[in-house]
Amino acid sequence: MKTILTLNREQIKEHLPHREPMLLVDEMVLFEDENGKQYCTGKLHITGDEYFVNGHFPGYPVVPGVILCEIMGQSSSILMLEALKGRTPFFTGIDDVRFKKQVRPNDTVEVTAKITSQRGPLFFVDATAKVDGEVCASGKLSFALIDSSTL
């Protein structure tokens, strides 16, 4: 396994249009395995101060499943970095998602993802989110990269 690229939060902002409070990744790393296949990891530390845990649920804060999907999606974007230039990624599908473990304040979500196929500006990704090595969510994500000048 060879590290290709590592991005911190500020560097991620150079490539993704997301900003606080919707930037949901602190670090991304792009790797290449011994067969030349690329995959990535992304991390987000949940502090408990995020807007989405404050009311979900009072007295027992839990990261909503839809937010876990967004964390997986944003973390996956480093796989499309070259294609992202001048484009904005939009979800076109979130399939076969399973939630296995609750994510709570002080947890660090680590996403691993790989592109399974691509057709033009459409990307298909398998992603898994873990906390402390235990799967909390997984699914098949698809994205369309839309020319940013048309938005």
Q: In which region does residue 79 sit, left (phi positive, over 0), alpha (psi from -120 to 50) or beta (all else)? A: alpha
DSSP H helical ranges for 14-146: 51-54, 65-76, 81-84
Distance CA 13, CA 5 (A): 15
Distance CA 87, CA 37 (A): 23
- Strands (E) located in 9-77: 27-32, 38-45
Catalytic entry in 15, 18, 45, 56: 56
Residue 15 annotated among the catalytic residues of the structure: no
As annotated, the active-site residues are 56
